[in-house]
Amino acid sequence: MTFSAAEKAAIISIWDNISGNVKIIMLTFDSRLFLSFPQTKTYFNHLDLRHGSTDLRRHGGKVLGALGEAAKHLDNLEDALAKISDLHAYNLRVDPGNFELLSHCILVVLASHLPNDFDTTAHAAWDKFIHTVSGVLTSKYR
Ligand code: HEM
C-alpha cells in the first residue's frame, strides 16, 4: 500500500494534533472499545480495565506510540511494525476481526475530538492508514 504526498500530510497533521493528548485520546480509545465492543475485554483480563486506570493509560500510550512510529514510516510499515506484528500474531493471538473494531473506534474518537481538523481528507487518509496498520499486524496469521 502506498500513500500519496497529500495522504501523508493529512496523517501527520492529525498525528501532531493527538500526540500531545495521549492520555485523553487513548483512554477514550480503550473505554470506547471496551464499552462498545465488550467482547474485546477478554484479551485484557490481566489488566485493570476501570476507566482511567494506570494499566489503561499505559496500554493506551503504547498503542498510540506505535501509531506515531507508523505515521513516521509510511513507506515501510512492515519493518516499522514487525515487532508488534509478531507479538499480536504469535503471543497474543488476537482474532483479526478485533482490529476492525478498534479501527472503527479510533476513527470515531478522532472525529469527535477533532471536529475541525478531522475533515474528509483526513478521514480518508486515516481510514487508509489505520486499515493498513491493521493489515500489517494481522499479516502473519497463516
Ligand atoms: C499490546 C499496538 C490492536 C490486544 C500492544 C502493544 C502495542 C500494541 C504497541 C504493547 C506491546 C509491548 O508491550 O511491547 C496495537 C496497535 C493495534 C493493536 C497499533 C491496532 C491499530 C489490538 C487489538 C487487540 C489488542 C485489536 C485486541 C482486541 C493487545 C493486548 C496487548 C497488546 C492484549 C497486551 C497488553 C498488556 O499485557 O499490557 N498492542 N495493538 N491489540 N495489544 Fe495491541
pTM (2 d.p.)? 0.94
CB-defined site of ligand 1, < 6 Å? 40, 43-44, 59, 62-63, 66-67, 84, 87-88, 92, 94, 98-99, 102, 133-134, 137
Complex-level ipTM: 0.96
pLDDT digits over 60-96, tens only? 888 888 999 999 999 999 999 999 999 999 999 999 9
| pLDDT, tens digit (0-9, with 9 covering 90-100), for 21-58 | 777 777 787 889 999 999 999 999 999 988 888 898 88
CATH architecture of 5-141: Orthogonal Bundle (1.10)
Distances (CA, A) of 100 to 7, 21, 74, 97, 115: 21, 23, 20, 6, 22
In the chain, the amino acid numbered 18 is I
